Structure 1
């Protein structure tokens, strides 16, 4: 089809077409500037933000570099660093267990923690409390936010406790919060906490959470499913863990069987 006919169908003047054709391969100063910024972003594999890219250029302002990078999607792709919180948590207590995870009777020593459940349509969390006497999960909550109310819901599921009961956790902000510490005292418990950055100080509950994921989601290759399915899997496994799954150290009995015989 002749060029004149194409221009007529598109409603474009022939002169406009030829003017565009002459300038097609010509780069403006802005085009060259944008290309320079893009080349630097690609050279550093998008590890730099606009401030660092500006430092590598001359006579181009930060705002211009930022605008160009946003326009073409060239922003820094490195995960945002978490800022270290300043100040001290609300309330830290000593590690009373000192990795002695034995208990002579039920509800004498309890451990608690939160684990991620990244298998559903959205991130979910499991808060659980485990009795060191027989390894039984005596309270748990599945939720979408790991705030103070989340762990308080787990705490409020506990039955009447004997005098001198110890509850051990890490130094997470939900456990050091005033509201949680108050609720623990009202239940007559003594709080104990792991040393900062020492998961081994709370290994029994860490091991349980690891077993839960290994023996369900990872074993069955379930990496993405519905939230309802995640909840169902966790609830069924905890029932199985407490009532059916035997442990060598419990004389090949389940936690519930061992507790019933002890009572």
Structure 2
């Protein structure tokens, strides 16, 4: 049996004016816009697996979705939605490695001296009427739940900030280090130079011979100077902070799924600080 609304309101001690104001309520233009922005923010956040913070999401909204919005408003709305970038600064206590190999030539340092600019910021250098092109390679560590290690070897284009090739292995061997370079050469042609650290995998006869047979110069970071290979070091740091440290891996295949997704996203979608429209944000 129905009840007269006036009786119900009286029983609940609610004024009739309050009830009708609620019944006829329409969201303001400002509130409608904020709700629409929240929907868009959640979509961008989830699509990028929670990696983006408010600045990158704001830039994405402005320059991809053509939405007029400021960083501050996106920050406020993300706080209301309880959304935060998941990037962390976790690190492993990885095994230490040493090398007794005497220092080999740092061609990047020579290019730095001759060009008057930072070698870590160079890929294409006009030097003595020749165009020099280099790629960087390095190996980083990923720990499984059982405390065993998986190794990620990468070949990286520092100028384009793009992963050229990568491989995963349960062992850090000279064959492993060489295979990822061979894969890069098959897919992308031959650079003038490849830069690496002085690890035993990179000073091995197999690795050196592979580059020599391909007519590629080998440049080496100075011992104790990891920033000579700063761009690829930065990539390995990013993949760990934005992806690896948030996952728990039981097997190397679990790692492979994450790395495959991240590399594809990094190469094709990720907003980086050099993107023109992000700098203009």
TM-score band, normalised by shorter chain:
0.5 to 0.7
Match of 1:161 in 2: 189
Q: Mapping of 1:16-27 within 5 angstroms?
A: none
Q: Mapping of 1:1-263 within 5 angstroms?
A: 88-89=100-101, 92-98=103-109, 99-101=118-120, 102-104=122-124, 108-121=133-146, 122-158=148-184, 159=187, 161-162=189-190, 165-218=192-245, 220=246, 222-252=247-277
Distance in 2, matches of 1:114 and 1:84, equals: 14
State the Cα deviation string for residues 45-94 of structure 1 (Å, max 9, x = none): xxxxxxxxxxxxxxxxxxxxxxxxxxxxxxxxxxxx98976xx42x7531
Distance in 2, matches of 1:215 and 1:229, equals: 16
SS in structure 2 at match of 1:192? strand
Give unpaired runs (5+ residues) of structure 2. Answer: 1-94, 110-117, 126-130
Residues 115 and 239 of structure 1, relative CA distance in 2, 3 Å threshold:
same
Give unpaired runs (5+ residues) of structure 1. Answer: 1-80, 254-263
Distance in 2, matches of 1:83 and 1:246, equals: 34
TM-score (normalizing by structure 2) = 0.54
Distance in 2, matches of 1:232 and 1:137, equals: 16
Which structure's CA Rg is the greater one? 1
Distance in 1, matches of 2:208 and 2:232, equals: 20
Distance in 2, matches of 1:157 and 1:251, equals: 31
Match of 2:3 in 1: none
RMSD after superposition: 2.7
Residues 142 and 133 of structure 1, relative CA distance in 2, 3 Å threshold:
same
- How far is the alpha carbon of 1:107 from its aligned partner? 8.6
State the Cα deviation string for residues 8-60 of structure 1 (Å, max 9, x = none): xxxxxxxxxxxxxxxxxxxxxxxxxxxxxxxxxxxxxxxxxxxxxxxxxxxxx
Count matched residues.
167
